[in-house]
Amino acid sequence: MIDLFNKIIALILAVLMPLGAKINFSKYYDSYRTVFTQGGVETAGGELFYDFVYSTEKVKPTDNLGQDRDFAVSMAKNEAEGCQLTVRSDTDGAEFCLRVSPAKNAEGNTLPVEIWQEYYLTVDGHGDVFSSDFPDPLIPYCGETVALEKNRSQTFFIEFRADAEAAAGEYVSIVSLCDENNVCVKNARITVTVWDFALPVTGASASAVGLNGSLFPLAAGLPYDFYGTNTWLSFYDGSSTLSPEQEEVYKKYYDCLLDHKLCAFFLPYDLLDPRAEEYMNDPRVTAFCIPYPKYDDEKLVRYYEKVMSNELWASKAYFYPVDEPFDADRIDNFDAIVERLGRLCPGYHMVVPFGDYEVTDHNGNLRTATGIEENVVDILCPISDYVDEIRPWLDERVAQGDRLWWYVCCGPSDGSGNCNLFTYQNGLKHRILFWQQRRQNSEGFLYYETCNWGFAGDPWTNPVTFGAATNADEAGDGLLLYPGNKIGTTDPVLSLRLKDVRDGMEDYDLLTLAKEKLGEKETEKLIRRVTRSMTRYTDDPAVFFAVRTEIGNMLSNTD
């Protein structure tokens, strides 16, 4: 009967949600919970309740919990995959701690495990009538005691990794939920299946994401520096010299992104620095940007000649000296850059993200976005919701040797129905974006920034990172890492969305293997069960993970 009541109330709340964005119902939440339980699996003693959820779900502290006593995840070798555990209490101040063992198989082999405690950010105008608090920052958790507020849950992210040498098969991890006296009140199981194949070390999709020197003040109390500044603000000309302390911090952030399948535009060291070559040779580094000295032809040529001296480096390197040329001034700048690169750096690779626009240049000529890039840009990078509109042109350019990447930023908007990376969105959207990328045969993903802290001031307190810090619809735009100052470290703090992006990049690898092993037609059928178009896709994680598991099992059974 209680379940029926909860369903009725859930329906009523769904109708009231738009109103709840304007009226604060949260003060009535505790009264509501005296009648309707928050749910969860009961533990010994009856004070603590828990529930497992998929890695893509975003559990607000006031959400109802399910009854998943145990859980299962699957992954390939050379992959990481996780799930979440949510804990709540009917008692204010109840304390508990969590222990999760490495996953172990019957032969005693283990898979390492990491745990993070999720931190909540308020995104006004989103959420439901009781809460607009969404999880995003992930704080490393090492078994500390956690105190709960009554009827407000705390969620943890649990992640396992399988390296290339991991034995295929089934592993089991024991999750122990302990009370304030460190007495175990519940043991649960996470079954981890490792498929009998490995994802490649070099990802099938290139990546290019922003990471610039504006991170230093919040990250480590160091001076702002223009190193790595992306083209949305300005080009990086290679003139900046980092202090040893700045180098150390930048390298931490770069390596963190690389560990999550993302390559920042600029390497931790200048390309002319011999230390950069370790990264240029790293098989995980799929792309890196060549600095563009605007007034120094000699240095520009030195950069280019070094890159072209090595076939591997040349295949990864690109110029990105101008962004979205959507007005006459940017067109003039773009034309001058194209002329200069053609003269000094013949055979250059260049990416210039673009959307759906027409521009009248200073000579009075009407120029389309595609016409601007025709025959002078060879890494085509349209915004994701523009790809279908220019598909014939893209196919023609790719057939002639150009590469296709794509990007998202503050657009496409959530209201358009397209997938993006906003804080309040269903995490499936973040991950399905990369299934759509694979379906569109796009070879690279670009994202203008990962530490866009300038608008927010402090992203720990203000999740609105774009639109002059006023538009919550774009909350989290350009933000995948948080400064460690909140928790007393100069290390980057990961986000739940970064995990989804990393998993999406690994899904891209999985789908690429499927195309090779199962054939393009069969893979397309499987992808269509998850996403049929840019705005038609499942919002059910059970459906998504069932298809993903089916693909993994099929690949495990192919020679």
Q: In whole numbers, what is the pLDDT of the chain averaged over residues? A: 93
Q: pLDDT value at position 316?
A: 98
- Mean pLDDT is lowest, of 40-44, 300-304, 454-458, 528-532, for 454-458
pLDDT digits (tens, 9 = 90+) for 240-251: 889 999 999 999
Helix axes 541-556 and 520-528, enclosed angle (nearest 10): 160
Which residues have C-beta within 8 Å of that of residue 117, sequence separation ≥ 6? 138, 139, 140, 141, 146, 154, 156
**Which pLDDT does position 13 carry in this prediction?**
54
Instruction: Yes or no: say if 85 and 156 are a contact pair by the CB < 8 Å rule.
Output: yes
Task: Please report the pLDDT score of residue 229 as a whole number.
Answer: 75
Residue 195 is encoded by which pair of tokens? 């498929």
C-beta atoms surrounding 256 within 10 Å = 20
Gap between the Cα atoms of 374 and 376, Å rounded: 6
Our CA dihedral for 518, 524, 529, 534, rounded to 10 degrees, sits at 150
HEC per residue, 245-306: HHHHHHHHHHHHHHHCCCCECCCCCCCCCCCHHHHHHCCCCCCEECCCCCCCHHHHHHHHHH
30 versus 18: which is more confidently predicted?
30
Residue 274 CB contacts under 8 Å (≥ 6 apart), including other chains: none
Q: What pLDDT is stored for residue 2 in this prediction?
A: 44
- Percent of the chain beyond pLDDT 90? 84
pLDDT digits 0-9 by tens, 486-528 = 999 999 999 999 999 999 999 999 999 999 999 999 999 999 9
Lowest mean pLDDT of 28-37, 97-106, 146-155, 304-313, name the range. 28-37
* Pair 390, 373: CB distance under 8 Å: no
| 75-96: average pLDDT | 97
Burial 298-332 (b: 16+ CB within 10 A, else e): ebbeebbebbeeeeebeebbbbbbbbbbbebebbe
Counting Cα atoms < 13 Å in the Cβ hemisphere of 246 gives: 19
**Angle 441-446-450 from CA coordinates, rounded to 5°:** 145
Helices (H) and strands (E) in the chain, counts: 14, 22
In this predicted structure, the answer to whether residue 208 has a pLDDT above a threshold of 70 is yes
pLDDT value of position 456: 66
399-410 pLDDT, tens digit per residue, is 999 999 999 999
Q: What is the pLDDT of residues 479-496, one digit of tens each?
A: 999 999 999 999 999 999
Nearest residue to 484 (alpha-carbon basis) of 458, 448, 457, 454: 458
CB 215 within 8 A of CB 480: no
Tokens 């555990």 correspond to what residue?
85
Note the pLDDT of residue 366. Answer: 95
Structure tokens at 255: 């390596």
Q: For residue 228, how many other CB atoms are within 10 A of its CB?
A: 25
Q: Is the pLDDT of residue 163 over 60?
A: yes
Residue 237: pLDDT band with limits 50, 70, 90: confident
For residue 354 the two structure tokens come to 């673009």
> pTM of the predicted model, to two decimals?
0.95
Q: Where are the domains of the chain?
A: 2-33+47-198, 206-554
pLDDT mean over 303-309? 98
Please say if the pLDDT value at position 283 is more than 90: yes
Pick from 298-312, 414-428, 445-459: least confident: 445-459
**Spatial distance between the Cα atoms of 427 and 473, rounded to a whole number of angstroms:** 15
Query: How distant is the alpha carbon of residue 284 from its chain centre?
Result: 17
Neighbours of 373 (CB within 10 A): 25
- pLDDT band at residue 1 using 50, 70 and 90 as cut-offs: very low
**So what's the pLDDT on residue 559?**
60
**Which of 110-119, 235-244, 295-304 has the weakest average pLDDT?**
235-244
Dist CA 201 CA 192 (whole Å): 21
**For the chain, what percent of residues have pLDDT higher than 70?**
93
Residue 449 near residue 423, CB atoms below 8 Å:
no
pLDDT of residue 5: 54
Please name the residues in contact with 18: beta carbons below 8 A apart, sequence gap of 6 or more: none
Interval 50-62 mean pLDDT: 98
**Separation between Cα atoms, residue 349 and residue 405, nearest integer Å:** 13
Strands 154-162 and 366-368: unpaired
483 close to 493: Cβ distance less than 8 angstroms: yes
DSSP string, 103-131: EE-TTS-EE-EEEEEEEEEE-TT-S-SS-
Find out whether 155 and 141 touch, Cβ atoms under 8 Å.
no
Task: Assign 3-class secondary structure to 207-249.
Answer: EEECCCHHHHHHHHCCCCCCCCCCCCCCCCCCCCCCCHHHHHH
Contact 405, 351 (CB under 8 A): yes
**What is the per-residue pLDDT for 6?**
53
Domain 2-33+47-198 has CATH 2.40.128.90: no
Alpha carbon distance 275, 277 (integer Å): 5
Top-confidence residue, 371 or 3: 371
Confirm if 495 and 136 have CB atoms less than 8 A apart: yes
465 — pLDDT class (breaks 50, 70, 90): confident
State the pLDDT at residue 26: 74
Instruction: Name, in order, each residue with C-beta under 8 angstroms of 102's C-beta and a sequence gap of 6 or more.
Output: 110, 111, 112, 113, 173
Query: pLDDT of 529-540, one tens digit each?
Result: 999 999 999 999
pLDDT band, very low/low/confident/very high, at 225 (cuts 50, 70, 90):
confident
